[in-house]
Amino acid sequence: MAAFRDPGIATPLTVCPNGQSSRDCDRCRVRTLSLCAALEPDELSDLDKLARTVNFGGRDTLFEQDEPSDLVFNITAGAVRLYKLLPDGRRQIVGFALPGDFLGLSMSEKNAFTADALTPVTACQFSRPHFSDFLDEKPHLLRRLHSMASHELSLAQDQMVILGRRTAEEKVVSFLMGLRSRWSRINGSMFHVPLPMTRQDIGDFLGLTVETVSRMLTRLAREKAIVIVPDGVRLLDIPRLEAIAAS
């Protein structure tokens, strides 16, 4: 699931097709990856009644930092860039949301970061107060939410290690292998890793310059560990890449 945002920013809302019956949720490609996996069919039907489908074009803003966090989203298609603007005007990317990701239930009443669509994005949207009430009635859903939050905390801790203790090559390889793992949950085992973000985005996320990111990708391609393709990279030497990421 995914994000909060200013209702005036999104493209026009349509009543969620999932609201017609839980069978539509059964056909959702990312249901088993998201918070919804904890729900029984009758509970899905109840959740459907709270949902609307929203669509964003590439580069549209889903929500903005410091704006009221009054909406909750479940990303069902596309990719989203999450970032904070620092007091000096610099941008720090804090993550990338993919299908199945859930954002929007922070304890703060304001958004901690901004979210922009990297590609066309589709999401199920919920009113945050209504979704919170729904959570209060479903202890098993809260347990899954806590499990997902613990996983996100683990990823954040890994990111701190990557930023502070890794070489540039290790950072880039760890990023690629981490994305491969996330995409594989959606599409199955993959040798192709889509990169909807720019190299500048990758650099901002990893604490590297765009020139360094490009140089590392070029080196990996020259050494036949990867092939750079128009929409991402194809992994050629996975054992070697896994060894670099684990170092």
CATH code at 191?
1.10.10.10
Q: What band does 160 get if pLDDT is binned at 50, 70 and 90?
A: low
In this prediction, residue 134 carries a pLDDT of 84
> Any idea which residue has 């941008």 for tokens?
91
Name the residue with higher pLDDT: 99 or 135: 99
Give the CA distances from residue 118 to residues 50, 79, 122, 229, in Å, rounded to whole numbers and listed in that order: 26, 5, 12, 18
* Domain shared by 194 and 239, yes or no: yes
Q: Per the confidence metrics, is the pTM higher than 0.75?
A: yes
Q: What band does 133 get if pLDDT is binned at 50, 70 and 90?
A: confident
- Assess contact for 96 and 134: CB atoms under 8 A: no
d(CA 112, CA 223): 40
Q: Find the domain containing 76 and state its range.
A: 14-151
- Assess contact for 92 and 46: CB atoms under 8 A: no
β-bridge mates for residue 122, sequence order: 55, 77
* Domain shared by 116 and 38, yes or no: yes
* Domain shared by 199 and 233, yes or no: yes
Q: What is the mean pLDDT of residues 128-154?
A: 72
- Assess contact for 96 and 205: CB atoms under 8 A: yes
* Domain shared by 96 and 193, yes or no: no
DSSP state of 49: T
